C-alpha cells in the first residue's frame, strides 16, 4: 500500500490515448505525481516532455533504471503490452494497461502470471464502464429489473479513414493492433460479459472491405449466454462521413432499454414494468460528447488510486481483462475457421 505520499506514475507511449491519461493524472494531482514519459518516436516524446515538464525516455529499460516509479500506464500499441507489462512487473512497478490488454490469449495469461509473481497490481483500463449511462444500466441489471434477459444487440458504427491507419506503421496490423473488434470495439465487447454475464459460445464473420490493412474493418458476431439469452454485435469503421453510433439494446421479460448516441452516451429508451427512483435519473445521466472515449478515465484512475492505497478493490484487474480478451480471441477463431467457438477457451 502507498500511504501518506503521492503515487509516482510514468506514462509509457505518448500517442493518441495518452492525452486522456495526462488529463486524468492532472485531475488527480493531489494523489498522483507524473515522474516520466516514454516513447520511441522522438517527435511524440518531445511534445510530451515539453507539455508535462517531466523527464522523457526513448527506452522503457532506461526509464525503469533511472526513475522511482510506483505505477506505469501502458499506452503503447496493443501487441507490445505483454512485453512491457512483464518488464515493469519484474522491476516492481504496478501496471495500468490500455485496451485490449493483449492481442494474443497466451500473452494475456503471461501478463497476469508475471504480475502475480512480482506481487504487483495489474489494472486493465475499461473506462466506459464508468460512464453515467452505463452505470445506471448496470444498476438496473444488478437489481434484476429486466427479469430474464432475452436478447441484446450492440452497434458500433464509426469511421476510421485510411489516413488513420497510415498515420503509424503498427495500425491495422495483426501483430500490434488488431481489427475493428479488438481495437475500436473492445469496450463494447466488454459490455457483453460485464453487463449480461458469462457466455456459452460465439459465431463471427469479419471482412476487410475498404481499408488497405491486414485486419478487419467490419465484423458481425452472434453470441449465446449461459443463461440462454441470445445476442449480436455489428461493427464497422466504414461509416460515412463520420462516427454515427455506439449503442446497446437490451430486451428482457420486464424491461427494454436502448443506450445510444455516438458512444453509449444517450439513454433513448428506458421502459420497465415496475417504476423506480432511478427512472428519474435517465436524462441527467445522458451527456453530450464528440469523443468516442467518453469521460471515464478520471473515474477509472480514482479506483486505481484507492486500490493502491488499500482503500478499495480493483474494479478491472488482469483477470477481469482476460474475460473480454477471451471473447475477442474466440470471435477471431470463429471467423477464421467458420465455426461456433465454445467458451471458455482451453487453458
The pLDDT tens digits of the residues spanning 66-78 come to 999 999 999 999 9
For residues 64 and 61, give the distance between their C-alpha atoms in angstroms, rounded to a whole number: 5
If one counts every other C-beta atom within 10 angstroms of the C-beta of residue 228, the result is 10
Which ranges of 28-131 does DSSP label H, i.e. alpha helix? 42-52, 60-66, 81-90, 105-118
* pTM > 0.85: yes
Mean pLDDT calculated for residue range 163-180: 96
For residues 134 and 327, give the distance between their C-alpha atoms in angstroms, rounded to a whole number: 20
Q: Rg for the chain (alpha carbons), in Å?
A: 20
Mean pLDDT value across the chain: 96
**In the prediction, which pLDDT does 23 show?**
96
Buried b (16+ CB within 10 A) or exposed e, 132-144: bbbebbeebbeee
**In the prediction, which pLDDT does 239 show?**
98
For residues 267 and 75, give the distance between their C-alpha atoms in angstroms, rounded to a whole number: 30
211 pLDDT band, cuts 50/70/90, is very high
**In the prediction, which pLDDT does 195 show?**
98
**In the prediction, which pLDDT does 329 show?**
97
Q: What angle do CA 191, 197, 198 make, to 5 degrees?
A: 110
**In the prediction, which pLDDT does 292 show?**
66
**In the prediction, which pLDDT does 288 show?**
79
**In the prediction, which pLDDT does 296 show?**
84
**In the prediction, which pLDDT does 317 show?**
97
**In the prediction, which pLDDT does 253 show?**
98
The answer to whether 229 and 248 have CB atoms below 8 angstroms apart is no
Tell me how far the alpha carbon of residue 292 is from its chain's centroid: 12
Mean pLDDT calculated for residue range 195-205: 98
The pLDDT > 90 percentage for the chain reads: 96
291 pLDDT band, cuts 50/70/90, is low
**In the prediction, which pLDDT does 347 show?**
55
What lies within 8 Å, CB to CB, of 76 at 6+ separation is 12, 13, 15, 84
The Cβ-side half-sphere exposure at 193, using a 13 Å CA radius, reads 23
If one counts every other C-beta atom within 10 angstroms of the C-beta of residue 33, the result is 15
Name the one residue in this structure whose C-alpha cell is 503490452.
81
Q: Higher confidence at residue 1 or residue 307?
A: 307
Amino acid at each position: 500500500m502507498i500511504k501518506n505520499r503521492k503515487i509516482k506514475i510514468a506514462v509509457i507511449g505518448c500517442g493518441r490515448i495518452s492525452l486522456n491519461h495526462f488529463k486524468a493524472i492532472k485531475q488527480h494531482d493531489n494523489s498522483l505525481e507524473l515522474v516520466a514519459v516514454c516513447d520511441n518516436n522522438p517527435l511524440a516524446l518531445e511534445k510530451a516532455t515539453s507539455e508535462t515538464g517531466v523527464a522523457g525516455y526513448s527506452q522503457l529499460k532506461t526509464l525503469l533504471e533511472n526513475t522511482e516509479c510506483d505505477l506505469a500506464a501502458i499506452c503503447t500499441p496493443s501487441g507490445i503490452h505483454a512485453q512491457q507489462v512483464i518488464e515493469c512487473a519484474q522491476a516492481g512497478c504496478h501496471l495500468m494497461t490500455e485496451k485490449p490488454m493483449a492481442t494474443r490469449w497466451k500473452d494475456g495469461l503471461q501478463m497476469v502470471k508475471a504480475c502475480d509473481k512480482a506481487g504487483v497490481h495489474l489494472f486493465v483500463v475499461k473506462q466506459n464502464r464508468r460512464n453515467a449511462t452505463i452505470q445506471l444500466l448496470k444498476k438496473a441489471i444488478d437489481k434484476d429489473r429486466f427479469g430474464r434477459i432475452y436478447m441484446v444487440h450492440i452497434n458500433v458504427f464509426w469511421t476510421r479513414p485510411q489516413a488513420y491507419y497510415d498515420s503509424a506503421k503498427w495500425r491495422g496490423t495483426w501483430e500490434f493492433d488488431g481489427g475493428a473488434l479488438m481495437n475500436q470495439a473492445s469496450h463494447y465487447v466488454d459490455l457483453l460479459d460485464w453487463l449480461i454475464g458469462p457466455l456459452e459460445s460465439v459465431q463471427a464473420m469479419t471482412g476487410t472491405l475498404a481499408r488497405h490493412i491486414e485486419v478487419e474493418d467490419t465484423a458481425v458476431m452472434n453470441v449465446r449466454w449461459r443463461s440462454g439469452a441470445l445476442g449480436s454485435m455489428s461493427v464497422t469503421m466504414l461509416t460515412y462521413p463520420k462516427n454515427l453510433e455506439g449503442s446497446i439494446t437490451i430486451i428482457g421479460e420486464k424491461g427494454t432499454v436502448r443506450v445510444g448516441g455516438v458512444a453509449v452516451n444517450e439513454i433513448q429508451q428506458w421502459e420497465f414494468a415496475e417504476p423506480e427512483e432511478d427512472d428519474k435519473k435517465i436524462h441527467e445521466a445522458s451527456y453530450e460528447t464528440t469523443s468516442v472515449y467518453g469521460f471515464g478515465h478520471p473515474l477509472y484512475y480514482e479506483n486505481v488510486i484507492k486500490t493502491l492505497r488499500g482503500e478499495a478493490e480493483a474494479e478491472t484487474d488482469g483477470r477481469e481483462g482476460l474475460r473480454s480478451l477471451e471473447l475477442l480471441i474466440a470471435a477471431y477463431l470463429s471467423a477464421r475457421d467458420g465455426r461456433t467457438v465454445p467458451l471458455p477457451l482451453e487453458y
